[in-house]
Structure 1
Amino acid sequence: MKMTIKEIAKLAGVSQATVSKIINNYDDVGLKTKKRVWEIMDEHGYRPSYAAQSLAKKVTKVIGVIYAGKINANFNHPFFVEVVSSFKKTMGIEGYDLLFFSNEKFNKADENYLARCQHYNVDGCIIIGGDEVEPSIYDLDNSDVPCLGVDIKLSGEKSAYIMTDNLQISSLAVEHFYLLGHRDIAFISGKKDSLISRERLEGFLDVMKKYGLKVHSDWVVYGDFFEESGYKLMKELLEKDPVPKAVFAASDLMAMGAMKAIKESPYDIADFSIIGCDDIMASRHVDPPLTTVKQDKEKIGKMAAFILNDMIQKKIDKTHIMIEPELIVRESSGPDRVN
C-alpha cells in the first residue's frame, strides 16, 4: 500500500505542510527535520512525484557529477571519494539525485558535457578537477548551467568553485619541518601541469624562501598523487647524495609510497620525517602513522552542495571559497627527527 504525505507527516511528527515544503525544497525547514523526513520516506519506499513540479518549475532535481581530466577518470582517489560522498548526502537531503557522467567516451570522441547536460536537463553540475581537463568543461563553465567546481577554478557567470588553500597547505608542512630543526626538505609533487601541483609547489617555494631555506632543485620531483609514484620517486631520492631526510609529499598516497620505499632500503624509517596531504582514512593506520595536512573533505562536500543549491535557487551569484587546511601531527614527522 502506497504511503501518503499525511502518513509520512504523522511518522515524522511534523505537519503535512512541512513534508510538502521539504519535498518542494523550501528553505524554512531545518536540516535535521529534512533529514528525518527523507529517511522516513526512504524507509517506507515513499517517492514523491516530481513530474508535475518539474513541468511547473522547470526543474528536474537532478545534479550532474563530472570528474574532469584523465587523473579522475576512474573515480578512485580517496580524497574525491570522501568529498563526493559528503556532497551526495547533503544534496540528497535537499531532494536531489545525482547523475554521474562518464568521461571515457569524451576522451575518444568529439562530444561535450554541455550537450549532455542539456539532454538530461540537469539543474546544475559539480565538476571535480583533475589533470588534462577536457576543453568541453569550459564550454559548460561558460553556459547557463549552474556549475560548482572542486579543485578547478571556474570563471563563468553561473559558476563557482571551492578548494583548500593550497599555498597554506605547503606553508604548514614546511613550517612544521622548520620547527623540528630541518633545513633541507624534499618535495614530491603531483603532475607539473596540475593546478593543485602548481599551487602547492608555489607555496613550498615561497615558504622555503621566507625561512631562508635552500631549495634543492633535484629534490623537487613530480608524480601523479598516487602511491606507486611516491614509491618510485622516493627510491630515486634515496640515490641522491646527500639523501633528503625531510620529505613533503603533495598527497597522503604518495607519502605512503615514499615510506614504503624507505622501509625497503637500508635506511631506518625513524631517521626520516615524512608529511603528506589530505588526511585520508589510511593515513592514521600506516606505520608510523602519517603526519599530514588535512583537507576537510566533509566540509568541502557539504559546502559545495549548499553553494550549488543556492546558485540553482538564484540566491547567490558566482563566488569562490577557500577552505583552511589543518596540520595533523602524528609519528611520521618526529618530534625528535632532525638532520
Structure 2
Amino acid sequence: MPATIRDVAKAAGVTIGTVSRALNNYSDVNCHTRERILRVAQELGYRPNQMARSLSSKHSKNIALVLSGFLEDTMLNDFETMLMKGIYQFAFEHGIDIAMYVINSRTQKEKSYEQLCYEHNIAGAILFGLKTNDPYCEALAASHRPCVTIDTEVRGPCISNVTLDDVTAFDELTQYLIDRGHRKIVLVHGRKNAMVSMERLVGAYQAFTRNGLTLTHDSIIYTNFLREEAVAGVGAYFRTHTPDSATAFLCMSDMLAIGTIEALKSLGYRVPDDYSVVGYDGLEVANYTDPKITTVDQNIKEKGYEAAHLLYDMLNGIRPAQKLVLPHTLVERESVKNLNELSN
C-alpha cells in the first residue's frame, strides 16, 4: 500500500498541514523542518496525488537540464542554444526525454536542490550557469543524486563535470596576441564569481608573466558576460585613458568581443586597423561579424552532448562520477593586426 501524507507526518513528527505546506514550498515552514519532511517523504516513497497521476512507470526516472541565470540575459545567447542542441541531440539518439527548468540565485534560496528534484521526480540533472557562491553548489556536494555540472566544478561522490582547460586555452589566446606584437592589452573580464572567468584570468596572468608583461587593475574591464556592459566598459575606458594606452582587447567571450567592437566603432576606431580584438567560445555569430572574430572554439555543442552522455552512463552504472576535459581550437580570423609586420 502506497504511503500517505498521514504516514509522512507521523514519521517526521509534524502535522499533516505542515507536510502539505512544506511540499508546496510555503515560506512559514522552517528550512530544517522542510528538509526533514522531504527526506522522510523520499524514504517512504510518498508522492502527492497530482504528481502520481502525471507520472507513469516509463518516466519513473526523469532527467533534467537546469539552467541558472538564463532569463537574466538581455538577449538570447548562442552559447545556451548550442549547448541545448548537443544535450537534446544525445536525448534524441537514445530515445530519452530531458525536461528543462530555469532558475537563478534567488530561486535557489527559495527552493532547495533536493526539493526541486523531489517535486519533479528528477533522478539526475545537468546544471549550467551556476556561480561559485550559488546555494546549489553546496547542495550538490551533499546530494546522492547523479548530476553533471558544465563549466562549474563542484566536488562530490555523485557529481561529474564537463569543461574545458580554460587556463591553458586563455593562455594560448593571450600568447597569440603577444606573438603578434601586442604589449598593451586590455582584458574584458566576464563575471567575477564565475569559475570560467577565474580560470581564464589565471591563463592571462600566466602568459603576461612569461613574457615579462604586467596586467594592471586599470587594464581590466569588468562585465557580467553581457554585450552591453562591454560596450559601456570600453567607452568608460577611453574616457580615462589615452588612445595609445592599448593596442588589443582580450575578451573572455565572443559576446564581449562583439560588444567591444561595437564600442570601438562608435568611437570612430577600426578593427583591426586601430585595435585588435579576440573572443572566446566559438559562437556561430562570431563568423558573421565585421570583421570576423579570432576566437577559441570550445566545441559547445559537443560539451552539451558529452554532458548528457555522461549523466546517462552514470544513471545506468556504466561510468562513475568524473571530470571530463574537452579539447579546444584557436580559430584565426580577421580581427587581429600583426604589429610585427609593421616594424619589419
The normalised TM-score by structure 2 is 0.76
| Matching residue of 1:289 | 292
Where does residue 304 of structure 2 map in the other structure? 301
1:72 Cα deviation (Å)? 6.0
Question: Once the two structures are superposed, what CA deviation does each residue of 1:179-220 show, in whole Å capped at 9, x if it has no partner?
Answer: 211122110101222211111111101111011123232111
Q: Could you list the per-position Cα deviations for residues 52-76 of structure 1 after superposition, in whole angstroms to 9, with x for gaps in the alignment?
A: 556xxxx43x2111123x4665594
2:226 aligns to what?
226
Distance 1:141 1:65, change over 3 A: farther
Say whether the 8 Å CA contact 1:113–1:137 is kept in structure 2: no
- Match of 2:264, SS state, is helix
| Aligned-partner Cα distance in 1 for 2:108–2:157 | 29
- Counterpart contact for 2:140–2:154, Cα < 8 Å: no
Question: Secondary structure of 2:100's match?
Answer: strand
Q: Are 2:183 and 2:247, in contact at CA under 8 Å, matched by a contact in 1?
A: no
1:66-124 deviation line (CA, Å, top 9, x unaligned):
123x4665594321221121111102222221222232595286221211212222231
Q: Which residue of structure 1 lines up, in the alignment, with residue 314 of structure 2? A: 311
* Structure 1 unaligned regions, length at least 5: 1-49
2:140/2:159 contact within 8 Å kept: no
Is the 2:276–2:335 Cα contact (8 Å) retained in structure 1?
A: yes
- Residues 8-157 of structure 1: matches in 2 within 5 Å? 51-53=56-58, 59-60=60-61, 62-68=62-68, 70=69, 73=72, 76-103=76-103, 107=107, 110-131=110-131, 134-157=134-157
Moved over 3 A (4+): 50-54, 70-76, 130-134, 335-339
Query: Partner letter of residue 126 of structure 2?
Result: I
Measured against aligned partners, the alpha-carbon deviations of 1:116-162 in whole angstroms (never above 9, x if no partner) come to 21222223100003336531343244212110000111212111001
2:70 and 2:102 in contact (8 A); partners too: no
CA contact (8 A) 1:184 1:215 kept: no
CA distance in 1, matches of 2:104, 2:175: 41
User: Distance in 2 between the 1:89 and 1:110 partners?
Assistant: 32
State the AA in 2 paired with 1:90.
F
Q: Deviations over 1:23-49 (max 9, x none)?
A: xxxxxxxxxxxxxxxxxxxxxxxxxxx
- SS of the aligned residue for 2:167 comes to helix
Sequence identity percentage: 22
Does the C-alpha gap of structure 1 residues 156 and 174 become closer, same or farther in structure 2, counting only changes over 3 Å? Answer: same
State how far apart, in whole Å, the 2-side matches of 1:116 and 1:271 are: 51
Aligned: 1:249 with 2:233 = no
Please say if residues 168 and 325 of structure 1, whose CA atoms lie closer than 8 Å, have aligned partners that are also in contact: no
Match status 1:186 vs 2:186: yes
Letter of the structure 1 residue corresponding to residue 328 of structure 2 = P
Deviation at 1:238, TM superposition (A): 2.4
Amino acid at match of 1:307: L
CA distance in 2, matches of 1:104, 1:187: 27
Q: Using the TM superposition, give the Cα deviation of residue 266 of structure 1 relative to its aligned residue in structure 2, in angstroms.
A: 3.4
> Secondary structure, in 3 states, of the residue corresponding to 1:278?
coil
Aligned residue for 2:245, secondary structure, equals coil
Q: CA separation in 2, counterparts of 1:117 and 1:83?
A: 22
Secondary structure at 1:225's aligned position in 2? Answer: coil
TM-score, normalised relative to structure 1:
0.77
The CA deviation at 1:267 is 2.9
Deviation digits for residues 221-249 of structure 1 (CA, Å, limit 9, x no counterpart): 21011210111111122231343111110
CA contact (8 A) 1:142 1:155 kept: no
Letter in 2 for 1:97: D
Relative distance call for 1:149 and 1:108 in structure 2 (3 A) is closer
Partner SS for 2:249: strand
Q: d(CA) in 2 for partners of 1:147 and 1:133?
A: 18
Task: State the match for 1:273 in structure 2.
Answer: 276
- Spell out, residue by residue over 1:262-281, the C-alpha distance to the aligned partner (whole angstroms, 9 max, x if none): 11113333221100011111
What corresponds to 1:216 in structure 2?
A: 216
Amino acid at match of 1:111: K
Q: Report the CA distance shift for 1:158/1:108 in structure 2 as closer, same or farther (over 3 A).
A: closer
Alpha-carbon distance, 1:293 to partner:
1.0
Match of 2:262 in 1: 260
Aligned-residue Cα RMSD (Å) equals 2.4
**CA distance in structure 1 between the partners assigned to 2:186 and 2:137 by the alignment:** 34
Once residues 148 and 281 of structure 1 are traced to their aligned partners in structure 2, the CA distance between those partners, rounded to angstroms, is: 25
Instruction: Judge which range, 275-284 or 88-97, deviates more.
Output: 88-97
Provide the rounded CA distance (Å) in 2 between the counterparts of 1:312 and 1:175: 41
SS of residue paired to 2:116? helix
Query: Unaligned stretches of 5+ in structure 2?
Result: 1-54
Asked whether the equivalents of residues 168 and 324 of structure 1 are also in contact (C-alpha less than 8 Å), the reply is no
